[in-house]
Amino acid sequence: MRMPGWCAALVVLVSLGATPARAFDVVISEQGEFADLYVPNGTAFPPKYVFIDPDPVVPICPADPTNPNCTRPPRVGKHVNGKLCFFPPGFGHNHKFVTAEDGYRESCMDWTNGPNPRTNPSGQLQPQSRCYDDRGRWFFGHDPDGWAIFKANGRWAKRHIATEWPAFSAQPIGQGAPTPQPQGNIDPQGCVFDAHGNMWGNDVGSGDPTNMDASQRGSLLVFFPGPRKRYDSYCFLDKNLSQAGMPAMDDAGNIYVAETGMGMMWKYSPPFPTSAADCANADHLVTTPPTKTQFPVSATAPTPGSIVRVPGTDHWYIGSVLLPGVPGQGGGIINEYDANGLFVRNIVPSTELKNPLGMDVGSDGTLYYSELNLNTDTSTGCGRVSQVRFVNGTPQAPEVLGQNLSFPDGVTVVDSSQLRIPITRLPPAPEPDPATCNGGG
């Protein structure tokens, strides 16, 4: 599992059959390394499916599926986190999307965690066989933490977008990820594409607000398509953020990023880099920094963690993940703000929240969000995915879509026509056992 940073992800994608049906919203929530796909139907606890599943803890044994110490290969086998973003057309990846992914590190390097009946003499878990055979069907891909490219059916496209981590490729399997982890690879989470096909992302950095190590700070970066559309060149715009939230973009192309650890919401405006030539140095940091101004929401949202556009307006919904409230008793707040960051109204009060993080808005205006449900020590308990519907513009009481989730860290709503797989063919996603998510608070 990822370290508890301030992140989240919920996304929407769906298709009911080979013949196109009426398009509708679906919600994908990334939690516990899964991407769960919800089909909202106007009620609490709607149908839910597994869209992307991670590698199982118990090793895969394709040659002997009857062995009780083995598991069948997963449908996808990638470990996903944060938000999901479709590529814009014309940049070499039509009908594909990206989302943050760290499967190779977790399955092949950090494989000493958790119980397993098949252990070696030292008691360590066996890494998956897919970690070795680069010609095999289930090969995982020797990729550092970054953003994986997926097809519209949720299958991995065997491509990855990541910053440089030279020591990663030389690290022996089973010995843990090499340290230090460079910025850009520590905890990738969010994404957004601009009109030029550039992919903007954030690295949360250390999930510990008390960590003063400058090399463990959060960051904002941009990947450029390049002439071959490989997205293998990039620049950092900011390397000094205390728990960077997932980015959002307005119609003018300005970028908004929450700095949760400092209680700030930032707005980045041009000048922006256009190629790696604008950051030609060892740190890949822009030589001409963007204009960075405070988006003044901290008075009413003291610990901003997420931001999403209110459709059809220049307003924003902003979620404060921790305050107001008391850890272990829920809290946080979701408010609406205008284009200048001025408070407009409350959408969900603290008394009805359990530490909101990822957010997105459906085509009918419904607000979807994930909730971490933090314990007193700010570790995560059993999280939720919830919705708030509007009647005549007035927000209604929240409804829970899914519960007992492990660090649900992002929300994305997508038109079902963007998916290229019948939903009913996906495995159903049952509600997890509360024992898997550290209890109820």
Asked if residue 440 has pLDDT above 70, the reply is no
DSSP 109-167: ISTT-S--SSB-TTSPBPPPGGGT-TTSTT------SEEEEEETTS-EEEEEE----TT
Q: Is 1 a member of any domain?
A: no
Between these two residues, 402 and 327, which has the higher pLDDT value?
402
Q: Do the domain assignments include residue 265?
A: yes
Residue 278 token pair: 């604008």
Residue 120 pLDDT > 60: no
In this structure, are residues 120 and 170 in contact, taking their beta carbons and an 8 Å threshold? no
Taking residues 255-275, report their average pLDDT. Answer: 97
Among the listed residues 235, 203, 197, the one whose alpha carbon sits nearest the alpha carbon of residue 218: 203
The answer to whether position 4 is within a domain reads no
Q: Considering only CA atoms, which of 12, 30, 34, 36 is closest in space to residue 361?
A: 12
The pLDDT, as a whole number, for residue 56 is 75
pLDDT, residue 142, reads 87
pLDDT in tens, 217-244: 999 999 999 999 999 999 999 999 999 9
pTM of the model: 0.91
The whole-number pLDDT of residue 63 equals 53
Q: Looking at the 3D structure of the chain, how many domains does it have?
A: 1
Residue 313 lies in a domain: yes
Residue 410, amino acid:
G
Q: Does pLDDT of 123 surpass 60?
A: no
**Residue 315 main-chain phi, psi, to 5 deg:** -90, 170
pLDDT of residue 65: 55
pLDDT in tens, 53-78: 998 766 666 555 566 666 677 889 89
Of 303, 169, 308, the closest CA to residue 247 belongs to 308
Residues 208-215 have a mean pLDDT of 87
Of the candidates 370, 250, 401, 267, the one whose C-alpha atom is nearest the C-alpha of residue 311 is: 250
296 in Cβ contact with 276 (< 8 Å): no
pLDDT number for residue 136: 72
- Please check the confidence at residue 121 and state whether its pLDDT lies above 80: no
Per the domain annotation, does 266 fall within a domain? yes
pLDDT interval class at 115 (50, 70, 90)? very low
Give residue-wise pLDDT tens across range 289-342. Answer: 999 999 999 999 999 999 999 999 999 999 999 999 877 788 999 999 999 999
Residue 125 — very low, low, confident or very high, per pLDDT cuts 50/70/90? low
Residue 129 pLDDT exceeds 80? no
pLDDT the model gives residue 441 = 39
* CA proximity to 2, closest of 81, 55, 111, 109: 81
Q: Is residue 271 reached through a cis peptide bond, with omega within 30 degrees of 0 on the bond before it? A: yes
Q: Span 118-127, mean pLDDT?
A: 49
Residue 2 lies in a domain: no
Q: Do residues 366 and 40 lie in contact, with contact meaning Cβ atoms separated by under 8 Å? A: yes
Q: What is the pLDDT of residue 9?
A: 30
Q: What is the pLDDT of residues 83-95, one digit of tens each?
A: 999 999 999 999 9
For the chain, helix (H) and strand (E) counts, in that order, are: 1, 27
Q: Are 325 and 307 in contact (CB under 8 A)?
A: no
| Residue ranges of E strands in 331-391 | 331-337, 343-348, 356-361, 367-371, 382-388, 390-391
Q: In this predicted model, which residue has the larger pLDDT, 258 or 2?
A: 258
Q: Which of 60-64, 96-100, 378-382 has the lowest mean pLDDT?
A: 60-64
Domain of 424 in residue numbering reads as: 10-437
* CATH classification at residue 52: 2.120.10.30
Pairing of strands 218-224, 96-101: unpaired
